Structure 1
Amino acid sequence: MAFTRAAGKHRRPGRMHRTTTRAAGVAALATTGVIGTLAAPALASEPVPEQTGLTPVITIGDSIAEQIDAQAAAQRQAAEDAEAERKAQEAARERAAEAAEQAAKEAHEAKERAARAAERKLLNTYVAPISSSYVSTAYRASSGLWSSGTHTGIDFHAASGTSVHAVGAGTVVEAGWGGAYGNQVVVKMHDGTYTQYGHLSSIGVSVGQSVTPGQQIAVSGSTGNVTGPHLHFEARTGAEYGTDIDPVAYLRSHGVSV
């Protein structure tokens, strides 16, 4: 009697099936780390699988995966640290720039305050027109020497060539010959009043020039209608003759001892 085998029952696995099964086993061993213990000759003795058109899946052990993860984490941390450092440096630069700007602003404001304070001090400073002198002829003294019959200013004792100073800050409005006053200088003061300096031997300023308290503007002499060298000083509400006010009271009101 003849015997026949049922189809597919005891048939030897085909080459494709064997190769695929072997690849799956290798992959499983690699996942568990067991493949690392296999001897190279054992693997080398296996025949090269035929080309199937399938992409093989390769897995790695846990220790290698952990190393890769750790390396990636370290790289991410390094990048984050570098970005944080960049931002910190940028913030520091911005703070330094703001601090420098604030310091410059404060320095400028301090300079302006100092300048304003100096200007106020300058405007409020008055001195005598002749240093270490005294009034030799009083205001409103009567005499036929003056056309009005009275003295419109005060005379300071001074030899020819004595320095004459601006009593305060102002602007020269007249500088030259003044008739009976001889050589004269008239200064418009910062408060709108005027001061006059007469009988000068020479003049050291010009019209339009700004003067400061104590600045030399001329030297005394005996030009004009005089009997001897001295300084004629007037305080006025206007630039012209006839607007005189008491010069002693004027100087004292600005802190000058006369």
Structure 2
Amino acid sequence: MAFTRATGKHRAPSRLTRAGAKAVGVATLAAGGVIGSLASPALAADTGTAPAATETGLSQLLAIENTLADRIDAQAAAQQHQAEAAEKKAAAKAKAAAKKKAEAAKKKAAEKAAKAKEAAKAKARAAREASARAGRSTARTALGSSYQLPVAGSYVTTGYKSSGSLWSSGSHSGIDFHAASGSSVVAVGAGTVVEAGWGGAYGNNIVLRMTDGTYTQYGHLSSIGVSVGQSVAAGRQIGLSGSTGNSTGPHLHFEARTTPSYGSDMDPVAYLRAHGVNV
């Protein structure tokens, strides 16, 4: 016997139908054969009405899908949180590194500036010291060149350490310059008057403290023209020559000393020559 069917197109099951069938199949597998159990006559008789197999399977499928979706969402959220935390950590680390680098650069710049400042101070100090040395040298040169004979154009008549009965010590403690009575006597160099008056055997005498710390003495003066504490320049007249004290005639007795007192004498000729005076 031949089968006939109505004419027209034969359509495949719709998407909804396929999805329903698939859902029923999945539900059946997931339920371990619940559909078959629900379809048994005994169960149908007990419950009165049996739920549709498609409805039961679809509900279970939806529950499974919801659980999977929740897990996926939770995993995505955790990954996002980890990514954000890693990003924040990297940013903090980069910020800390940048800060450390900036601090190191600042410290290095400060150290460099401090070294430059110290070098500038040292340079300025060296320049000041060099200037001071040059000034002292110039002063010494000027001082040396400004020394002169105590009596202009004179000469030595009695030398240093000459022996004889004229001196209580047995020898001459200075030198004598030829000088007529009343000749001008000047300071051989710049200094300060530390003694001006009667000096016993020296008669009227003057003692000067020179700028280099030595002392000079001028004796047998007929008059004194300065007072103690007065500053005098090289070549400044301090008195007039004479023959006061223990003297055999007009002349100038001149001494160079290390102290203002008698007995500290040194060679006057060598002293004057050391200061540029031609004796």
TM-score scaled to structure 2, two decimals? 0.48
How far apart, in 1, do the equivalents of 2:242 and 2:90 lie? 105
1:21 is aligned to 2:21: no
Contact 1:139 1:247 in 2 (8 A): no
| Pairing of 1:143-162 with structure 2 (within 5 A) | 148=166, 153-156=176-179, 162=184
1:185 is aligned to 2:198: no
| Pairing of 1:75-86 with structure 2 (within 5 A) | 75-76=95-96, 78-86=98-106
Aligned-residue CA RMSD (Å): 5.6
Q: 1:196 aligns with which of 208, 215, 218?
A: 218
How far apart, in 2, do the equivalents of 1:98 and 1:123 lie? 36
The gaps in structure 2 that reach 5 residues or longer are 1-40, 45-49, 51-55, 160-164
SS, match of residue 138 in structure 1: strand
Contact 1:126 1:213 in 2 (8 A): no
Q: 2:154 aligns with which of 110, 135, 156?
A: 135
Letter in 1 for 2:277: V
Contact 2:177 2:252 in 1 (8 A): yes
Match of 2:78 in 1: 57
How many residue pairs match? The answer is: 215
108-117 vs 80-89, which moves further? 108-117
Q: 1:93 aligns with which of 87, 90, 113?
A: 113
User: 1:176 Cα deviation (Å)?
Assistant: 0.7
**Could you give the per-residue CA deviations for residues 62-85 of structure 1, whole angstroms, max 9, x where no partner exists?**
8x8998688556534532442233
| Pairing of 1:64-79 with structure 2 (within 5 A) | 75-76=95-96, 78-79=98-99
1:12 is aligned to 2:52: no
Match of 1:37 in 2: none
Paired-residue identity, %: 27
Aligned pair in 2 of structure 1 residues 139, 72: CA closer, same or farther (>3 Å)? same
232-241 vs 84-93, which moves further? 232-241
**Could you give the per-residue CA deviations for residues 41-99 of structure 1, whole angstroms, max 9, x where no partner exists?**
xxxxxxxxxxxxxxx6362798x899868855653453244223322222123313432
Match of 1:102 in 2: 122
| Pairing of 1:106-125 with structure 2 (within 5 A) | 106-107=126-127, 109-110=129-130, 113-114=133-134, 117=137
Contact 1:139 1:153 in 2 (8 A): yes
**Could you give the per-residue CA deviations for residues 165-205 of structure 1, whole angstroms, max 9, x where no partner exists?**
13477x76632124675532134777978532442533424
Letter in 2 for 1:96: A
**Could you give the per-residue CA deviations for residues 90-148 of structure 1, whole angstroms, max 9, x where no partner exists?**
212331343245335535654675577568658866722447x21278337xxxxxx94
Contact 1:136 1:154 in 2 (8 A): yes
SS, match of residue 135 in structure 1: coil
How far apart, in 2, do the equivalents of 1:27 and 1:237 lie? 109
How far apart, in 1, do the equivalents of 2:59 and 2:109 lie? 73
Contact 1:174 1:185 in 2 (8 A): yes
Contact 1:185 1:198 in 2 (8 A): no
Match of 2:8 in 1: none
How far apart, in 2, do the equivalents of 1:179 and 1:154 lie? 19
Which structure has the highest helix share of the two? 2
Q: Considering only CA atoms, is the larger Rg found in Structure 1 or Structure 2? A: 2
Match of 2:18 in 1: none
Letter in 2 for 1:94: A
Aligned pair in 2 of structure 1 residues 126, 247: CA closer, same or farther (>3 Å)? farther
How far apart, in 2, do the equivalents of 1:159 and 1:86 lie? 80
User: 1:231 Cα deviation (Å)?
Assistant: 6.6
How far apart, in 2, do the equivalents of 1:231 and 1:197 lie? 9
The gaps in structure 1 that reach 5 residues or longer are 32-55, 141-146
Contact 2:208 2:216 in 1 (8 A): yes
TM-score scaled to structure 1, two decimals? 0.51
